[in-house]
Chain A
Amino acid sequence: MTVADIIKALPLTVIAAAGELSKPVEGGYVSDLLSNVMGFAKANSVWITMQGHQNVVAVASLANLSAVIIAGGASPEADAVKKAEAEGVVLLATDLPAFEVAGQLYGLGVRGL
């Protein structure tokens, strides 16, 4: 499965790095604590969060994540979008709450373990 596949299935808007949608999705992770994501998220996972600041992009890049889904209608900050474009980190946004996003991804076969 790729990032493009989950965009087809879920109501997600591409906010940054639209050229990187062929990245593989091998798992999912939900957390709003960056330190926790740095410690535990596996590479090639999609990360669901409510945080929209630029350090989210740094952490996603560091952890080699395939995409960040900013859920619950939260809006990414302008400098975060700029940094994501520069670093090729896919930022997606949705009005769906985080629980619902995770549930729908699970339904597609994405797992958290």
Chain B
Amino acid sequence: MIRCFVADLHVHSVLSPCAAVEMTPRNIVWHAAEHGVDIIAVTDHNAGDNVRAVLEAAKGTPVTVLPGMEVETKEEIHVVALFDKMRSFQEWEKVVEDHRSGRLNDADKFGAQFVVDAEDNLVRVKEEMLLAALTLGLEELCDRVEALGGLCIASHVDRPAYSILYKLGFIPSGLKLAAAEISPLIKKEDALRRFPALAKIPIVASSDAHTMDDFIGGPKTCFHMEQATLPEIRQALYSENRREVVL
């Protein structure tokens, strides 16, 4: 049966240096269940160390967790990469590890990066600088995500910082981009008026939450589909088989 799955495909955990300390696996899953969010993707900057913990924390709850990551391309464009299997996500983590700058994070300047377990306990501090560009260009990055069965969504395209429309000014043809995400700052109609390039690509809204208030109050997207899986989300983005996206 086709129904609306409420999804937030862009949520940061305490691994992201800019996220608040309350963004722990159990807390995120609990608030998702409490507020009727069916699907979440935990998408930390250039790393996925907390994804397993969030998947584990969601066991036995109605919340589906998709492995994800918000990656920063060589052009300093942010892209949310989503996967439906841990195996492919692990492959993706290896690709990212091979393309980091090699710099170490300065927690005083950028913020701390915490790896935690499913009970929200601190496991370790992530040393690598995550809030920095990978050495992968946008096109190659999206190609490699697709090749692993994942999909790419351009982050907060309406915002000046780190967005494809401000960095490049357009969406290159042939780019394997499944959708564009609009930020909490704008409505879909206004985004379409201001950015004509968006007429050619499916649009989703996500919270890009860095705090629990962002998550609770931020925009979500309703995916009309049968199951909470990435292939179904892909069909909904392209309005296939009676699936669709409603903002």
Using a CB–CB distance below 8 Å, which chain A residues touch chain B? 33-35, 38-39, 51-53, 55, 58, 61-62, 74, 77, 87
- In order of increasing CB-CB distance, the 9 nearest A-B pairs are A53-B161, A35-B133, A58-B109, A62-B109, A58-B110, A61-B109, A35-B132, A33-B76, A62-B106
Shortest beta-carbon distance, A106 to chain B, in Å?
26
Is B60 at the interface (CB under 8 A from chain A)?
Answer: no
Given A52-B161, A87-B109, 15 new contacts (CB under 8 A): A33-B75, A34-B132, A34-B133, A35-B132, A35-B133, A38-B101, A38-B103, A38-B132, A39-B101, A52-B160, A53-B162, A58-B131, A62-B106, A74-B160, A77-B161
Return chain B residues, CB-CB under 8 Å to A34. Answer: 76, 132-133
Minimal Cβ-Cβ distance residue in B for A80: B161
CA distance in complex: A61, B109 (Å)? 7
Shortest beta-carbon distance, B185 to chain A, in Å?
12
Q: Which single member of A38, A39, A51, A61 contacts B161 (CB below 8 Å)?
A: A51
- Interface class of chain A by DSSP: helix
CA distance in complex: A58, B106 (Å)? 9
Q: Give the contacts of B100-157 with A (CB-CB under 8 A).
A: 101, 103, 106, 109-110, 131-133
Interface string of B157-177 (1 = CB under 8 A from A): 000111000000000000000
Shortest beta-carbon distance, A85 to chain B, in Å?
15
Shortest beta-carbon distance, B184 to chain A, in Å?
15
CA distance in complex: A52, B159 (Å)? 11
Q: Which single member of B109, B110, B133, B160 contacts A53 (CB below 8 Å)?
A: B160
CA distance in complex: A74, B162 (Å)? 15
CA distance in complex: A77, B76 (Å)? 18
Return chain A residues, CB-CB under 8 Å to B161. Answer: 51-53, 55, 77
Can you show 5 pairs from A to B with CB atoms below 8 A apart? A35-B76, A35-B133, A51-B161, A58-B106, A61-B109
Shortest beta-carbon distance, A45 to chain B, in Å?
17
CA distance in complex: A34, B76 (Å)? 8
Minimal Cβ-Cβ distance residue in A for B129: A38
CA distance in complex: A55, B159 (Å)? 14
Interface string of B41-79 (1 = CB under 8 A from A): 000000000000000000000000000000000011000
Shortest beta-carbon distance, A38 to chain B, in Å?
7
CA distance in complex: A36, B75 (Å)? 10
Minimal Cβ-Cβ distance residue in B for A62: B109
Return chain B residues, CB-CB under 8 Å to A52. Answer: 160-161
Return chain B residues, CB-CB under 8 Å to A33. Answer: 75-76, 133
CA distance in complex: A52, B131 (Å)? 16
| Contact between B101 and A35, CB atoms less than 8 A apart | yes
Return chain B residues, CB-CB under 8 Å to A87. Answer: 109
Return chain B residues, CB-CB under 8 Å to A39. Answer: 101
Shortest beta-carbon distance, B236 to chain A, in Å?
32
